[in-house]
A and B are shown apart, each in its own frame.
Chain A
Amino acid sequence: MYTDKVMDHFSNPRNVGEIDNADGVGEVGNASCGDIMKIFLKVEDNIIKDVKFKTFGCGAAIATSSMVTEMAIGKTIDEALILTNEAVAEALDGLPPAKMHCSNLAADALHEAIKDYKEQHS
């Protein structure tokens, strides 16, 4: 059902946790649908220095969260803002069609965290 990359990120998720005094925090999803993703950011000089996540959800939800943290670290805010859910799914060699809609929210969570960062630092 899942690709090897999805299973790798699901079984060894990168950057799990929270950041104390994060520069931005974003949360998307709801319990009703079974997926909630929360992203924490550390930003220095407009560059994302660290990202951590916490996710309630299925294998795809955890794998996409893990992948988006890897993809975002080192990027500028503007570069991270153009990261899409599709790009995250692609980086995982794809997701099953049924998962594309409900579990592929990781980039949205990242964008929410960036929005929060911008609001706090404008």
Chain B
Amino acid sequence: MKQIYMDNNATTRVKPEVLDAMLPFFKEQFGNPSSVHWAGRMVSGAVEKARQQVADLINCSPAEVVFLSCGSEGDNYAIKGTADALKEKGNHIITTAVEHPAVLETCEHLEKNGYDVTYLKVDRDGMLDLQALEDAITDKTILLSVMWANNETGNLFPIEEIGKIAKKYKVRFHTDAVQAVGKIPVDVQACNVDMAVISGHKIGAPKGVGAMYIRRGTRLTRFMHGGHQERNRRAGTHNVAGIVGLGVACELAKKNLESEYEYVRKLRDKLEKGILETVPDVKLNGHPNPDLRLPNTLNVSFNYIEGESLLLYFDMKGIAASSGSACTSGSLEPSHVMGAMCVDVVLAHSSTRFSLGADNTEEDIDYVLQELPPIVQRLREMSPLYNRDDETPLTCDECRVIRRV
């Protein structure tokens, strides 16, 4: 059976060049880069080379790059580290209602410990009101945390403009750039970002490695205590092979950024157009202007059917995608991102994300466009909501809004 992978926002295949570069570090180059002897010296250069590769991709100094275990660690470190380091200055954090759980849950944790958090709402297209963001800033605000790109919709937030606001009010600015890096240009200096988080496995490096940009001079309370690695900013023996892989993945991303953007975007646009034209009762989730979304992401709701069923039927045809339904989110509620966008609850349960990669081909798109309509129709024929006379209950009022500004 065909295997068509369209879940690259969840994770990516390790690129062959990345794996090749990593392999020696499981064999002869096994040393601990903190050691002074030959085995340590053999690998310390590799870690520093990777640091440079990461820095080159996001336009910062290598001394501002810290290696970590994953994106969630970076978000935890940035938020908790700031909350503690700046607690004398204030206790207010501003973020958005559509962040990754690594940010949301961390903020919710801080709320239980005396911090105030503002969760900015988004509109129906999933976009922020920058005036509301500016208005939310008080003299107690110590951190602004806004993701660069949304993992579910692919929406891009105006990071450069938010950076200007952060600068104007002298508020520290953290961005979860996990979905943006490698897909679109990310320049932390141009956008006045103080901290940005990167995850290896989203860009063709393995799972278990990430990096964080911490602008020089940013005071941050340590998250991981222990050894003196990473200039005392992150204890723990370096995951040398993973770090080398991340470095190579960043170098490849920089080299191929423009061509892959064009290529993947063309495929995504074809898939989007094909679905919207051939399947009735489909809603696009995210900003209708494709320039304001990641080039690889398409999120659509197939009305009247539930996401997990759809994914399982896709899976039987070898198509891997993801859904914002409650059954796939591991909670009792559908996606908080759909909720924040006031997407009708049935549509939220039927939201389906296709996240493409450079490995996808035009044939893949044709195959999905051929297999998808009958699957949707079959599930609709099974659904008591399809061709229903009475209105389906529960609309926008039910949506989960975490808190008003």
Mark A residues whose CB is within 8 Å of B.
Answer: 10-11, 13, 16, 27, 30-38, 54-62, 98-99, 102-103
Contacts and interface: CB of A to CB of B under 8 A. Distances in A.
A8 to B, nearest CB: 12
A32 B309 contact: no
Contacts of B309: 10, 57-59, 61-62
Nearest to B305: A56
A34 B394 contact: no
B382 A32 contact: no
B72 interface: no
A62 B312 CA distance: 12
Interface string B316-341: 10000000011100101010000000
B149 interface: no
Interface of B: 304-309, 312-313, 316, 325-327, 330, 332, 334, 345-346, 349, 381-385, 392-394, 398
B385 A36 contact: yes
28 contacts: A10-B309, A30-B394, A31-B345, A31-B346, A31-B385, A31-B394, A32-B345, A32-B394, A33-B326, A34-B334, A34-B349, A35-B306, A37-B384, A54-B382, A54-B383, A54-B384, A55-B382, A55-B383, A56-B305, A56-B383, A58-B325, A58-B327, A59-B308, A59-B309, A61-B309, A98-B330, A102-B326, A103-B327
A103 B384 CA distance: 15
A-B residue pairs, 4 tightest by C-beta: A58-B308, A58-B327, A54-B384, A38-B384
Contacts of B316: 11
Contacts of B345: 31-32
Given A11-B313, A103-B327, 17 more contacts: A13-B382, A31-B349, A33-B326, A34-B306, A34-B334, A54-B383, A55-B383, A56-B305, A56-B384, A58-B308, A59-B309, A61-B306, A61-B309, A62-B309, A62-B382, A102-B327, A102-B332
Given A59-B308, A59-B309, A102-B332, A34 B327 contact: yes
A32 B345 CA distance: 6
Nearest to A57: B306
Nearest to A101: B332
Nearest to A11: B316
Contacts of B307: 58
A99 B305 CA distance: 18
Given A56-B306, A59-B312, A31 B392 contact: yes
A38 B305 CA distance: 14
Given A55-B383, A62-B382, A34 B312 contact: no
A40 to B, nearest CB: 10
B305 to A, nearest CB: 7
Contact of A10 (B312, B332, B393): B312
A54 B332 CA distance: 22
A58 to B, nearest CB: 4
B304 A56 contact: yes
A57 B379 CA distance: 10
A56 B325 contact: no
Interface centre among B327, B383, B392 (most CB of A within 10 A): B327
A79 B112 CA distance: 52
Nearest to A16: B382
A33 B384 CA distance: 15
Contacts of A30: 393-394
Contacts of A27: 384
Contacts of A31: 345-346, 349, 385, 392-394
A17 to B, nearest CB: 8
A104 B296 CA distance: 36
A25 to B, nearest CB: 10
Contacts of A62: 309, 382
B334 A36 contact: no
Contacts of A99: 327
Nearest to B312: A59
Nearest to A7: B312
Contacts of B392: 31
A83 B308 CA distance: 27
Nearest to A66: B382
